[in-house]
Structure 1
Amino acid sequence: MTKSKTPLPKIKGTFSTKLIQEIGTGTTKRKVIQSFLYFAEEKDNGEVGLRVLNENNVPTGEEQIISKEELLESFTPEVELYTSTVFPAIQKLNKSLAKADRQRKEGNTFTAEMEYGKALNIDEENIRANFGIGLCYLDRNEAEKATDIFSRLIDLDAAFESEHKHLFNDFGISLRKNKMFDKAVNFYSRAVGLTNDDENLYFNIARCLYEKNDLKEALKNAEKCLEINPDSNPAKKLKNYLSKKISG
């Protein structure tokens, strides 16, 4: 009986790469070597997600996907840097986020805002912190501050990735409850542009349009929801209601 092989641990750590550029011309021509640091994490499918490290040594910005072979060929592992600097910095960021999330769920929005602020000082593009602080503003009906966060989030593709879906949903619902219908529609529409096979997005757009009394557009979106999922009972009810309302 042969023993099954123990799977190798997934790659996770800090890697560096160098970029050599030639600048100048003629006698002034010279080579410049630039070094870049990344946080790399292997996915379940064997591909590797790369995110650049910011000045606070935490991964930030959009994730770049490369093969494991490309990582091992073109990047150098920085084990000591990860252990001594990057890992503790990530832990510090996650600690602030966890505390902020807990305070927000308990209704302590000012304390939560302060903790999300600490996280944003470490990584200003952190999706969880941006959503969290935006939800604090919406919970306190601070529309102007929430609008600033909305403008920041809607430009970040990562805000609409599946790992942030629950935060995305909470934010969209809070926009609607605060009667910020146009922003809620823009928010959901942005997500539709990235993934157009989610019936819930169309249903949420339909609800917002209905609440701002744009019944015909609301009906169109309810129908789009049903095209994707004909069994959606909330969309069926909304479609029937809107059809009757429009026909008089």
Structure 2
Amino acid sequence: MSELGLIEGVFSIERTTRIGTGTTSRRVGQSALYYARETEDGSIELQGLNSRNVPFGPVGVITKDELLADYLPVPQLFKEVFGNLRAVQKSVARGDKFRKRGENFTAEYEYANALNLDELNVRANFGIGLCLLARDEEEKAKKVFDRILGLDTAFSDDHKHLFNEYGIALRKKKLFGQAVDYYRRALELAGDDENLWYNLARAQFERQDWAACAKAAAKCLELAPEHEEGRRMMDHLAKKGLI
């Protein structure tokens, strides 16, 4: 239980699968472990555990009744799982702190500690990529962010600001073509983010592709009519006769 009396712990479920073919096939039971956390609305968020006993991957949602009926608590694992989860969170937080100070090597060390426990951690992957970009190691950074684009958990509301931060970093490095490619790929999976569309417009503006800039800015304003930067962008394009 959490401090608020909500369910939080490690649970297992037994699943039966068939292995083999023909006359040699048989059913075997397999146990899967999950980190479960009850939300304030009473639903249960479930995440699988990796080989290091750290919650990872997509978050599923079930009811409390389903949890209590189909899953068994594994209290002996909770202390380890919770400790590992906190260790990842603390390493990422330290990495963010050092990166904001410009101490990129120290930040990268902290992010690497987090990834040793949870290689799919989105914030740690973003952090290492931003450190590499700050050191002008553009090819290595590109590989990291290509990996991020393959993570389902990257495209949650919690991580939208990281996408924008990376695109802005690319633009500041005057890597406008890469910034455009990056925003386009991100928008394929998070197309309802007005800030991604605005930053795509900014990158297209730097490339002097006025039509593409206006199209992205218009999409930004379609999603968020009160977006001040997007409105100023459209007004500037119109005033200069660029559209």
Kept in 1: contact 2:7–2:36 (CA 8 A) = yes
> Hey, what's the Cα distance between the residues in 2 that align with 1:43 and 1:189?
34
Contiguous gaps of at least 5 residues in structure 1: 1-6
Kept in 1: contact 2:164–2:199 (CA 8 A) = no
> Hey, what's the Cα distance between the residues in 2 that align with 1:230 and 1:197?
13
Kept in 1: contact 2:164–2:196 (CA 8 A) = no
The residue number in structure 2 matching 1:206 is 201
In structure 2, the CA distance between the partners of 1:187 and 1:47, relative to structure 1 (3 Å rule), is: farther
The correspondence of residues 58-207 of structure 1 with structure 2, limited to 5 A, is: 58-83=54-79, 85-207=80-202
The residue number in structure 2 matching 1:4 is none
- 1:221 and 2:235 correspond: no
Contiguous gaps of at least 5 residues in structure 2: none
Kept in 1: contact 2:11–2:74 (CA 8 A) = yes
Specify the code of the residue in structure 1 equivalent to 2:38: E
Secondary structure of residue in 2 paired with 1:175: helix
Which residue among 44, 47, 53 is the counterpart of 1:51? 47
- 1:11 and 2:7 correspond: yes
Secondary structure of residue in 2 paired with 1:130: helix
> Hey, what's the Cα distance between the residues in 1 that align with 2:151 and 2:223?
26
Sequence identity percentage: 48
> Hey, what's the Cα distance between the residues in 2 that align with 1:131 and 1:43?
27
Shift of residue 123, structure 1, vs aligned partner: 0.9
Secondary structure of residue in 2 paired with 1:63: strand
Kindly provide the CA deviation profile for residues 52-95 of structure 1, in whole angstroms up to 9, marking residues without a partner as x. 10111101112122222222221111111112x21222222223
When normalised by structure 1's length, the TM-score is: 0.87
The residue number in structure 1 matching 2:28 is 32
> Hey, what's the Cα distance between the residues in 2 that align with 1:169 and 1:81?
37
Kindly provide the CA deviation profile for residues 182-233 of structure 1, in whole angstroms up to 9, marking residues without a partner as x. 4433443344444444322221111111112211010011122222333333
Shift of residue 9, structure 1, vs aligned partner: 1.8
The residue number in structure 2 matching 1:3 is none
In structure 2, the CA distance between the partners of 1:166 and 1:221, relative to structure 1 (3 Å rule), is: closer
The residue number in structure 1 matching 2:238 is 243
Shift of residue 29, structure 1, vs aligned partner: 4.1
In structure 2, the CA distance between the partners of 1:237 and 1:48, relative to structure 1 (3 Å rule), is: same
Secondary structure of residue in 2 paired with 1:21: strand
When normalised by structure 2's length, the TM-score is: 0.89
In structure 2, the CA distance between the partners of 1:202 and 1:72, relative to structure 1 (3 Å rule), is: same
Shift of residue 144, structure 1, vs aligned partner: 0.9
